[in-house]
Structure 1
Amino acid sequence: MNTTPAQLDHLVLATPDLAGTVADFARRTGVTPAPGGVHVGLGTRNHLVSLGGSAYLEIIGPDPEQAGHDGPRPFAVDVLPVPRTVTWAIHPADLDATIATARARGYDPGPARPMSRRTPEGTLLSWRLTDGTDAHPSGLVPFLIDWGASPHPSASGLPVTPLLALTATTPDPDGLRPLLAALDVELPLSEGPVGMRFTVETPHGPVSFD
């Protein structure tokens, strides 16, 4: 059963070893993630896989060419002991209106801020997203993204592993559901340690990642 949230933009699989995680994904699925690009000044780069439709998987880790980066890198890739699905993003039709509505409902996703990365072909992609430092610390409440005039990453001919399911565990499912509802999204939740799991269809059959 496909439980993909309607507004899903992408899942974030963070790793301390980008090359190793990309190779592991390719081995397990039979599909090799495509180079995404470099987050200049943030010390990270990514590889991408389409999840079907306008959703994709971002595998993000330290950029070896930015080894001198000073300060923490996004998604704590400096300190993660192993690869982990850390959070997810949605693309509402109106980013600013969705932020305002969520605040009125009692959840503040944080302000929208500009970001960018350069693709391997040299194209600069620019977007706005809500500030992760203000988001729910579990990562289970999605951040919001608006790609503006930039082409969506899923439209760049990515290799495809269709998303079959996305679920999460948390010590307090009932406490998290109202925050998801404030953003008009649903995520199947069960009680347990904080974590996310997604399952994709692959040439090797369904494969799950935590």
Structure 2
Amino acid sequence: MSIPRLLDHVVIAGPDLASLIDWFAERTGVVAAPGGAHPTGTANALVALTVDGSRGPQYIELIGPDPDRTRPAVPTTFGIDALTEPRVQAYAVHPDDIDATVATARANGYDPGDVTDLSRRTPDGTLLEWRLTRGEHHRIDVPFLIDWGHSAQPGLSDIPTIELVSLVRTEPDPTPLIGILNAFGLGDGVAEVIEGEESGLRLTLRTADGEVVEL
């Protein structure tokens, strides 16, 4: 089992949020709960993760274009504008000190980007505010950092759950990405990178009836 120690959430993106929710439900038996809309033109739905029998705070974020967005252009967040089907696109980690982790990464040769503010409202109107990095050139093969501050972490809210078995990154040549991840100084807080034919994240879940599903 390989689970990043500092995992906050896993991002599964798709070109249409409603279809993405159906896709996830067909494979796992879990219907994600509505999360809310972002100022970036995206909206999400959420599923909490259980790890070693414990609930959260880790979770899965299903994200796609907000059907009620004011601008017709498809958002570029997580490469949504280039997707034709759902894909496990990214993951976030929550270091103890986000600013110190950014400084460490920069000192070690990788710039994860400035820490910026973002927010969304939940379906009941609650405002969630957090800080995050967007990554060098917005690349999504490297985890972004997140700090929820005083907001409640979504993985602990009253949403459906599913068991997390593992999350790993595959790369034809793992060495360059491993070097970048090492720059953060987070040890096993980030996903393991292994050799594979294609670049991508491999998310493995266990359903309520014990079936193991790889996405």
Calculate the TM-score normalised by the size of structure 2. Answer: 0.89
Shift of 1:132: 3.6
Question: Match of 1:203, SS?
Answer: coil
Pair 1:207-2:206 in alignment: no
Pair 1:84-2:87 in alignment: yes
**Where does structure 1 lack aligned partners over 5 or more consecutive residues?**
none
- Report Cα offsets for 1:110-147 as digits up to 9, x if no partner: 11010001100001101010024535x3x221000001
Partner of 2:143: 142
Q: Which runs of 4+ in 1 moved over 6 A?
A: none
Residue 102 of structure 2 aligns with an amino acid whose one-letter code is I
Question: Match of 2:109, SS?
Answer: coil
Distance 2:71 2:111 in 1: 34
Shift of 1:191: 3.2
Question: Match of 1:64, SS?
Answer: coil
Distance 1:65 1:200 in 2: 31
Residue 134 of structure 2 aligns with an amino acid whose one-letter code is D
Q: How does 1:134-173 map to 2 (within 5 A)?
A: 134-135=137-138, 137=139, 139-173=140-174
Shift of 1:171: 2.7
Question: Match of 2:84, SS?
Answer: coil
Distance 2:150 2:21 in 1: 29
Pair 1:26-2:25 in alignment: yes
Percent of pairs with identical residues:
49
Partner of 2:192: 187
Residue 9 of structure 1 aligns with an amino acid whose one-letter code is D
Question: Match of 2:192, SS?
Answer: coil
Partner of 2:53: none
- Report Cα offsets for 1:35-66 as digits up to 9, x if no partner: 111113x1110000111231110000011111
Distance 1:72 1:48 in 2: 19
Calculate the TM-score normalised by the size of structure 1. Answer: 0.91
Given that 1:31 and 1:159 are in contact with CA atoms closer than 8 Å, whether structure 2 keeps it comes out as: yes
Distance 2:17 2:75 in 1: 16
**Worse overlay, 174-183 or 70-79:** 70-79
**Where does structure 2 lack aligned partners over 5 or more consecutive residues?**
51-55
Equivalent residue pairs, number: 205
Given that 2:65 and 2:75 are in contact with CA atoms closer than 8 Å, whether structure 1 keeps it comes out as: no
Shift of 1:70: 4.7
Distance 1:111 1:119 in 2: 26
Pair 1:118-2:128 in alignment: no
Q: CA RMSD in A?
A: 1.6
Residue 91 of structure 1 aligns with an amino acid whose one-letter code is H
**Worse overlay, 9-18 or 176-185:** 176-185
